[in-house]
């Protein structure tokens, strides 16, 4: 199966590598080509559609890559173009809300290492040929494969060059065995403590109205925690709130958007928000009602109960998200390396690409990175 065709791409660039790159600047038009190709949860239509609608102050730039000889589609890359400090940057449709990014690969795309490099090179050449005058291509948080297929765009960088990584829990088929592996967390005891409260229960929102109620609580609980930590919080601003609620509206009924909670007669004690793609679940947000509930570790408990519930539905891979907080190690995570790529598209972008490459190199030498941070006045 290949992608459906789009009748009128906004820009077409044919390279000498035998790869054709079309650029579409309207997501609803590009979405016509989105079908059952190999993709991650963050390349699902229920994610990208709300994203392009909510974050409307950037310009969509979706690359559709195909074989020039056969016309068969190879990949689609959901990107944006915007300007920062006078530099026009092309990057994934992300702006910090996705845990990873990748192209969508056609079902019948078979790419060896040479093919992958040709695809990546063709994309860069096509971007340079656009009349927009783009200066820098930044592709961040890329996994090495997409649905079991090699990600061709990582050939532009170094595997693991991203400062962030995924945190994957593989539960296996027997959930009792997994529970035994995390017994030090004492989740059964936490559940017993929580269950003493009248009306105590765990739930997953099954309709949009309940999902919205839980998201309202999540926003308020996370805002309160961030204020206590004197940290900036943006996930409840107008743009982000619209985005998360639209993902929920589209995805709750089919189980793509998973909003769960610990609830009792006293109110909502803890919540999670995540997305699911087949047998893989990504945890994105957690909230809880504060220290007064610490005896039952509500953040850990709502996470474990969500894992248990989804395990019963056939999920076996649970990514607890980027960031290496201590609680994730307690769930038995395995780090998943991610790759960053920076390519200069013009002379104006060259200094920024060089700076990105230097930062990526320093990450392999933590002591040097710490010295550089202090020298730049960034030590905390």
Query: Residue 8's pLDDT is what?
Result: 46
C-beta separation of 133 from 59 below 8 A: no
Low-confidence ranges of the chain (pLDDT < 70): 1-16, 34-36, 362-380
How many angstroms separate the CA atoms of 295 and 292, rounded? 8
How many angstroms separate the CA atoms of 272 and 294, rounded? 17
Q: Angle at CA 248, nearest 5°, toward 244 and 249? A: 115
Query: Residue 7's pLDDT is what?
Result: 42
For residue 87, what is the enclosing H or E element?
strand 87-92
Helix axes 238-251, 45-54, angle to 10 degrees: 150
Query: Residue 361's pLDDT is what?
Result: 76
Query: Residue 33's pLDDT is what?
Result: 77
Query: Residue 299's pLDDT is what?
Result: 97
How many angstroms separate the CA atoms of 358 and 276, rounded? 35
Count CB atoms within 10 A of the CB of residue 172.
Answer: 11
> What residues does 334 pair with on adjacent strands?
168
How many angstroms separate the CA atoms of 28 and 247, rounded? 16
Task: Tell me the domains of the chain and their CATH numbers.
Answer: 11-164+337-375 (3.40.630), 172-315 (3.40.630.30)
How many angstroms separate the CA atoms of 221 and 218, rounded? 5
How do residues 328-380 score in pLDDT, each as one tens digit? 999 999 999 999 999 999 999 999 999 998 888 766 555 555 554 555 454 44
Retrieve residue 224's tokens. Answer: 């309160």
Query: Residue 364's pLDDT is what?
Result: 59
């Amino acid at each position: 199966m290949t992608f459906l065709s789009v009748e009128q791409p906004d820009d077409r660039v044919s390279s000498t590598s035998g790869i054709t790159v079309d650029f579409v600047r309207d997501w609803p038009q590009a979405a016509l080509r989105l079908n059952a190709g190999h993709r991650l949860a963050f390349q699902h239509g229920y994610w990208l559609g709300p994203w392009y609608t909510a974050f409307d102050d950037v310009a969509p730039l979706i690359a559709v890559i195909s074989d020039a000889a056969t016309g068969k589609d190879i990949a689609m890359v959901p990107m944006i173009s915007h300007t920062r400090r006078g530099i026009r940057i092309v990057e994934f449709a992300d702006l910090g809300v996705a845990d990873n990014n990748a192209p969508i690969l056609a079902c019948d795309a078979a790419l060896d290492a040479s093919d992958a490099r040709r695809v990546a090179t063709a994309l860069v050449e096509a971007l340079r040929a656009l009349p927009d005058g783009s200066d820098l291509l930044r592709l961040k948080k890329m996994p090495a494969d997409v649905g079991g297929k090699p990600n061709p765009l990582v050939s532009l960088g170094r595997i693991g060059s991203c400062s962030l990584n995924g945190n994957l829990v593989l539960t296996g088929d027997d959930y009792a065995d997994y529970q035994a592996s995390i017994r030090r967390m004492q989740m059964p005891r936490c559940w017993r403590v929580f269950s003493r409260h009248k009306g105590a229960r765990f739930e997953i929102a099954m309709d949009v109205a309940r999902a919205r109620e839980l998201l309202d609580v999540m926003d308020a609980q996370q805002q309160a925690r961030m204020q206590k930590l004197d940290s900036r919080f943006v996930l409840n601003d107008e743009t982000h709130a619209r985005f998360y609620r639209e993902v929920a509206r589209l995805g709750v009924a089919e189980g793509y958007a998973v909003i769960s909670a610990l609830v009792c007669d006293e109110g909502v004690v803890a919540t999670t928000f995540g997305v699911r793609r087949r047998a893989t679940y990504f945890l994105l947000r957690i909230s809880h009602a504060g220290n007064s509930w610490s005896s039952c570790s509500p953040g850990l408990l709502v996470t474990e109960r969500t894992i248990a519930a989804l395990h019963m539905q056939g999920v076996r891979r649970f990514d607890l998200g980027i960031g290496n907080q201590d609680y994730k190690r307690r769930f038995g995570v395995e780090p998943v390396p991610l790759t960053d790529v920076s390519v200069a598209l013009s002379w104006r972008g060259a200094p920024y690409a060089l700076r990105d490459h230097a930062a990526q190199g320093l990450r392999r030498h933590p002591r040097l990175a710490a010295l550089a941070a202090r020298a730049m006045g960034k030590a905390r």
